[in-house]
Structure 1
Amino acid sequence: MGRARHFQAATTGAARLTILARLTVLIVICTVCWPAMAGTNVHKGSLGNWIEQVALPKADPQFDSQIKNGISNLLSDYQIRKRPGGLEVFDRYAYKIVDRTGLERGAAISFEFDPATSEVTVNWIDIIRDGVVIKHLSDAEFDVFRRERDAEKGLFDGWLTAYLNINDVRVGDIVDYGKTTVRTPIIGTDLLFHSFAVAWDEPIALIRKRVTWPTVQPLNVRQVRTDIRPDVQSTGETTTYLWQSANPTPVKSQEYLPPDFLTYPSIEISSTSKWQDIVDTVLPYYRLDQELPADFAAKLDAIAAKYDAPEDRMIEAMRLVQDNIRYVSLSMGRGSYIPRTPATVVASGFGDCKDKALLLASSLRRLGIHADVALTDLDEGLALATILPTIRAFDHVI
């Protein structure tokens, strides 16, 4: 469920919330780059009437000495509302270019998105110079690239990067742009999970998050080292939650921390408090009663005839899957969450962790060994007990 990002300098803090920022079970960033496609999957359009606009805030000068890369962050505004079959998300970012270094970094806009689940519309691109607003949306031409950095490892996610070099940007300018994304998740269309840091490792004048959600489905909120609470307004069928963090003190980033300790004070939002809701969403795609190809089933039967001990059968089944199914992860669209059938995996001779785990569990069941598939997180699995329920918590299947 997310990965759209501003240029790197603006999102250092939020990017470190690794377990909370994943959008799919197996999302990976890659290095092979397909040619640019001007304008593909990026539209231009007006702002929806559900979006609340705010005036640009002023940065606190006491933090000027901590500005990084020549960029003074002014506003990060993120608004979400539920729509039939998914979400609508508005994302606005504004910053001031304070020196020549900032000009090199801030004169371009870049964000990533999944074309299988997201439709992106840029609402405005403005340059504010000496109080005068210069509009650039009409002449903006986005280049859209597909980047696959781990292609040599057999990992593909299909995400696209949209890039725009803005004309005539100068030191002292404020860059202000907003975009709306219509998201249609592959699974869990009625579930919401969002997390955000309420302070970054560099100054920002205002972090603002606004969620409009059905009143009958109250949101669950987890606060991590912050006392910021939402302003909650109900209008009958919907309830709006608003969090604001004005000129927070920058946080010194740290590495090699325990997975359940987040560097940045943060807030998690989830539409459910029960992990069982996540299980119920995923379980139908991991049925263990699916038919195995006849020749593969015959090999399993031969193992059963040769070995009586369950541990021997387990080892031989693992060898059979490992030796015959090479690792390739096609995590595009349905492939990001949903495993292919065991028959398809055997016929193709390749699969990712989801495919191979389901095939192995099905094989063990045929051998009389009870086995189930489990979702986990390779790096931060220990944190699963502390976060709110979300499909996005997982990056691996065993």
Structure 2
Amino acid sequence: MKRTSLHFASWLLTFSVLFYNTSAFAKQYEIDKPNEWVIHHNVKHPQKSDLEKVRDGTLYLLLDNQIYVPNRQKQQRYTRLAMKAINQSGVDYISQLSLDFDPSYESLILNSLTIIRNNERIDKLSSAKMSVIQGEPELANRIYNGSLSLNIIIDDMRSGDTLDYSYTITGSNPVYANKFSTRKTLNWSVPVVQQKMRVLWGKKTPLHINTINGATDIREASNKYGTDYSITLFEAPLLEQNSQTPTWYDPYTQVYFSEFDDWGQVVNWAHPLYQSAIETPNSIVDIAEGIKSNYTKTSDKIAAALRFSQDEIRYLGLEMGTNSHQPTPASETLSLRYGDCKDKTVLLISLLKAMDIEAFPALVDTEETKRLKELPPSASVFNHVIVTLKQNGKRYWLDPTVSYQRGTLEYLAQPDYGYALIIDDQNEAILTSMSQKPVHTNISVEDNFFIAEKASEPSRFETKYTYAEFEAINRRSNIASSGLNSVAKSYFEYYQGFLNGLSINEVMLTSEQEKTGKLVTRESYLISEF
């Protein structure tokens, strides 16, 4: 994910949460002053003018993020933003806020809500309209995290006003077993006058601090709460990214705070989560026995088990609370016939286990990909999990969330997310490269023109597309969702753009190459004006 501009929404903490009745929403937050450990900073105005680089009509005057991690009590995260609307676009952009939280393990306190106009502070806590609503930011991806949002509509907001607000969220997802990690971006492609980042560390265990893509001055002090780490930046230089930069590369400077010493600790954290869900009851064994009765080769059994987890279990993520990382038991996923990446992973591993085939979960990050190798150890950096195994000395990466995948194990399209952390407590816990040599050319095209002997007769144009790897998967998905007729029509309209007098000679035909997993489409047209 490339950061092209700084949006206030990126500062609002998003968490997974169980569904609640609307009548209960009103009691899910409080209004109170910040805790005494919070340091208040004055809002500063820019010394240099970069208003021509401002986006969305909003100049960020202060971005303040403070985190207190006590030894025994719950974590507290204080966030404060001061943003100036330099025009009407800015008014529209910042006059409505959404603060996301998870009341199953978090509490939200709105600390302040003010408008600064002509150096006068106007309190909006009593006049702003506030309501807690059900938020589902990943609904389009079939992921239900049940998040709640405190929606705030600010009245009497005018061009030139500065919105200054703050809030505190107490609590953290218990699935992390009280292990702390966080990260912060330190430079942006839009003007930010002042940034503050602070971690107040009250635990006895060491806190590891790393910066990526540059260095920053981190001040360390001691107080009654513990060790105080702080970062202050004033009018940091803007960073503009070239449009030709690879999608996996992120040039922005980031600071990481993590309680994890190494990737082995991440494996130790994840291993019991997955082992508790991998199981082989009768329902799993019955499916495995059915596969074994149809296939004799181990590689074919693996491919059949993968297809079952892909095609027979629909993708649906109910990632509320600890379910953000805790997989559902395999038998329950099989009964429900739906699950997310970790549920499908556990089911596939359980099916393979029932056939005496050893496989492991592999944690990956679909956004960081190759850059994951540069990042410090942390459990929170991963956003996806797949299955890995070795067969005849070769490692395979199997993604059970992929649909419409065909072919034998040797020809399966394998994902390449850069690096993966294999959850196997018996081997060395390191990041493993997923890089591999492609088996096929992704797309090959064969065009044939049959020229008529007489100018009055139409010529014939035939084209054959052979899709392999993920191109075949994507094309099958397109045909399944849109229908073959619709796809054929779009192809016909495409060729009409540069072939005069085109008409359809034969309907589009598709065929499958069972072993290689390739998809072949054939089209035949007549050209009256060749």
Tell me if both proteins adopt one fold, taking TM over 0.5 as the criterion: yes
**Kept after mapping to 1: 8 A contact 2:81/2:165:** yes
- Displacement of 1:181 in angstroms is 0.3
Which residues of 2 match residues 1-398 of structure 1 at below 5 A? 10-11=7-8, 39=26, 41-83=28-70, 84=72, 86-148=74-136, 150-151=138-139, 153-214=141-202, 216-235=204-223, 238-255=226-243, 257-258=245-246, 261-287=249-275, 290-305=278-293, 307-398=295-386
Bigger relative contact order (CA 8 A; separation at least 6):
1
C-alpha spacing 1:382/1:225, structure 2 compared with 1 (3 Å):
closer
Query: CA offsets per residue over residues 6-45 of structure 1, 9 Å max, x none?
Result: xx85349x68xxxxx9977xx89xxxxx989874523211
Distance 1:249 1:295, change over 3 A: closer
Tell me the distance in 2 between the aligned counterparts of 1:383 and 1:152. 27
Q: For the residues of structure 2 that align with 1:76 and 1:358, how far apart are their CA atoms?
A: 41
User: Distance in 1 between the 2:144 and 2:78 partners?
Assistant: 27
Alpha-carbon distance in structure 1 between the residues aligned to 2:358 and 2:76: 42
**One-letter identity of the residue aligned with 2:66:** Q
CA distance in 2, matches of 1:88, 1:247: 27
Between the aligned partners of 2:296 and 2:314, the Cα distance in structure 1 is 28
Question: Relative to structure 1, is the Cα distance of residues 11 and 336 closer, same or farther in structure 2, using a 3 angstrom cutoff?
Answer: same
Q: Partners of 1:56 and 1:332 in 2: how far apart?
A: 37
In 2, Cα distance between equivalents of 1:61 and 1:77: 21
For structure 1, which segment, 140-149 or 206-215, has the greater mean C-alpha deviation from structure 2 after superposition? 140-149
With 38-47 and 287-296 compared, the bigger mean Cα shift is at 287-296
**Could you tell me how far 1:329 is from its partner in structure 2?**
1.0
CA distance in 1, matches of 2:6, 2:368: 24
Asked if the contact 1:23–1:392 (Cα under 8 Å) also holds between the matched residues in 2, the reply is no
How much is the aligned-residue C-alpha RMSD, in angstroms?
Answer: 2.9
TM-score (norm 2): 0.65
With over 3 angstroms needed to count, the CA separation of the structure-2 counterparts of 1:191 and 1:240, relative to structure 1, is: same
Give the superposition deviation at 1:212: 0.7
Displacement of 1:357 in angstroms is 0.7
- On the 8 A contact 1:72/1:95 being kept in 2, the answer is yes
Q: Which structure has the bigger radius of gyration?
A: 2
Distance (whole Å) between structure 2 residues aligned to residue 255 and residue 119 of structure 1: 40
Question: Secondary structure of 1:390's match?
Answer: coil
Deviation at 1:285, TM superposition (A): 1.3
CA 1:342/1:307 → structure 2, altered by over 3 Å: closer, same or farther?
same
Compared CA separation, residues 253 and 40, structure 1 to 2 (3 A): farther
Letter of the 1:10 partner, please give it.
Answer: H
Cα distance in 1, alignment partners of residues 203 and 227 from structure 2: 5
2: CA distance, partners of 1:179 / 1:376: 32
Q: Relative to structure 2, which stretch is displaced further, 368-377 or 223-232?
A: 223-232
Deviation of 1:229 after TM superposition, in Å, equals 1.8
Q: 1:139 to 1:62 in 2, by over 3 A?
A: closer
Q: Which amino acid aligns with 1:176?
A: D
- Per the alignment, residue 409 of structure 2 pairs with none
Rounded Cα–Cα distance in structure 1 between residues aligned with 2:52 and 2:385: 45
8 Å Cα contact 1:66-1:202 kept in structure 2:
yes
Distance 1:85 1:365 in 2: 41
Deviates more, 1:108-117 or 1:129-138: 108-117
Q: Matched residues in 2 for 1:323 and 1:66: separation? A: 48
**Quick one: distance in 1 between partners of 2:350 and 2:230?**
46
The worse-fitting range, judged by mean Cα deviation, of 320-329 and 166-175 is 320-329
How many Å apart are 1:107 and its aligned residue? 2.3
CA contact (8 A) 2:114 2:163 kept: yes
Distance between the aligned counterparts of 1:45 and 1:288, measured in 2? Answer: 41
Q: Distance in 1 between matches of 2:53 and 2:91?
A: 17
**1: CA distance between counterparts of 2:76 and 2:24?**
25
Q: CA deviation at 1:277?
A: 1.4
Provide closer, same or farther for how the CA distance between residues 149 and 130 of structure 1 changes in structure 2, counting only shifts above 3 A: closer
In structure 2, C-alpha distance between the alignment counterparts of 1:36 and 1:320, rounded to whole Å: 41
> Is the contact between residue 277 and residue 329 of structure 2 (CA under 8 Å) also seen in structure 1?
no
For structure 2, the residue ranges without an aligned partner over 5 or more in a row are 387-530
Q: Which amino acid aligns with 1:65?
A: E
8 A Cα contact 1:208 1:244, kept in partner:
yes
Structure 1 partner of 2:405: none
Sequence identity, in percent?
A: 24
Q: Tell me the amino acid that sits aligned with residue 357 of structure 2.
A: I
- The answer to whether the Cα contact below 8 Å between 1:186 and 1:337 also exists between their aligned partners in 2 is no
Specify whether residues 293 and 192 from structure 1 end up closer, same or farther in structure 2 by C-alpha distance, changes over 3 A only.
Answer: same
Question: Displacement of 1:289 after TM fit?
Answer: 8.0
Classify the secondary structure of the residue corresponding to 2:360.
Answer: coil
Kept after mapping to 2: 8 A contact 1:76/1:207: yes
- Partner of residue 4, structure 1: none
What secondary structure, in the 3-state scheme, does the structure 1 residue paired with 2:361 have?
coil
The Cα shift of 1:112 comes to 2.6
* 2:60–2:192 CA contact under 8 A, matched in 1: yes
Instruction: Provide the rounded CA distance (Å) in 1 between the counterparts of 2:13 and 2:348.
Output: 26
SS state at 2:238 partner: coil
SS in 1 for 2:129: coil
* Contact 1:85/1:184 (8 A) holds in 2: no
1:362 CA displacement: 1.5
The two structures have a TM-score, normalised by structure 1, of 0.85
CA 1:86/1:389 → structure 2, altered by over 3 Å: closer, same or farther? farther
Structure-2 change in CA distance of 1:49 and 1:108 (3 Å): same
